[in-house]
Amino acid sequence: MTDPASGQARATGATPDPEGRREPIVELERLRFCWHAGAAPVLEIETLRVERGERVFIEGPSGSGKSTLLSLLAGVIVPQQGTLQVSGARLDAMSGSARDRHRADHIGYIFQLFNLIPYLSMIENVTLPCRFSARREAHARARSGTAQAEALRLLAHLGMGDSGLRARPVTGLSVGQQQRVAAARALIGGPSLVIADEPTSSLDAAHREAFLQLLFRECTQAGSTLVFVSHDCSLATLFGRTLHLSAINRAWRCDAGAGIGSAS
């Protein structure tokens, strides 16, 4: 399960394990999650490892547990059983407030509907993570002098450097432009893990691939690991590894065999 994407730069200080693999960003063992006591599990995964610098494409039919897995990786929810380590922290053993701090420091999230804040400017939307994380603000300052300057750099690299665009309210941007602002917000401050939940679903094929190449470039430069979920399996060839969630989620296999398929 550890075929890293070719051409990915190793992050400084990453230490191989005894088998010659890179440092894991995601490592889970015997994970089991259900939404409430007595309910059937929606995720049962024996083991999963994602190494630093990988680009991983996660696919699976509706109900196979993709959104639930992303919520677990982000520390929004925790498993009832098993261990879940993300960016060096045992999320399953942390309090809710500690998981919130960890998420702010280490995880960039690109939402399917982007979730831009309509009353904030484009720059304010991008720099928002730095308001919640001193670590990411420090990384942004180290890269460009200020968080605002780093936001401008990211936007320029994502094709959003025009000053006329930056003057528009985010609600006045096209879907593709909002998508790039959301990506810059996720990338600012060099999070160790970038999670993307169906961010290209509103784009045509040509714009999807162009956006992904921009995203790959920024993740590589920042040393960020990318976990990307999509129903569009044609994108999988662009990634270093494809994870078929329905194949590793025992809960889905059992439900699908029974004709249920209730995970989300």
Residue scoring higher pLDDT (135 or 259)? 135
Tell me what pLDDT residue 252 has. 80
95-109, 184-198, 250-264, range with the lowest pLDDT = 250-264
Consecutive H or E run containing 257: helix 250-257
Q: Which residue do the tokens 């994870």 mark?
A: 243
Task: Look over the chain and give the mean of its residue pLDDT values, rounded to a whole number.
Answer: 86
* Percent of the chain clearing pLDDT 70 (strictly above): 88
Query: Is residue 162 included in any domain, yes or no?
Result: yes
Query: Is residue 5 included in any domain, yes or no?
Result: no
Query: Is residue 194 included in any domain, yes or no?
Result: yes
Query: Is residue 183 included in any domain, yes or no?
Result: yes
* Structure confidence at residue 64 as a pLDDT band (50, 70, 90): confident
Tell me what pLDDT residue 13 has. 37
Tell me what pLDDT residue 258 has. 52
Sort strands 24-33 and 81-86 into parallel, antiparallel or unpaired: antiparallel
List the domain range (segments joined by +) for residue 208: 24-257
Residue scoring higher pLDDT (229 or 204)? 229
Residue-by-residue DSSP string for 157-210: HTT---HHHHTS-GGGS-HHHHHHHHHHHHHTT--SEEEEESTTTTS-HHHHHH
Query: Is residue 6 included in any domain, yes or no?
Result: no
- In whole angstroms, what is the distance from residue 238 CA to residue 223 CA? 18
Q: Which residue do the tokens 């162009």 mark?
A: 210
* Structure confidence at residue 202 as a pLDDT band (50, 70, 90): confident
**CATH for 50:** 3.40.50.300
Q: Which two tokens stand for residue 14?
A: 């990453």
52-56, 141-145, 219-223, range with the lowest pLDDT = 219-223
Cβ neighbours of residue 160 closer than 8 Å, sequence gap 6 or more = 122, 166, 177, 180, 181, 184
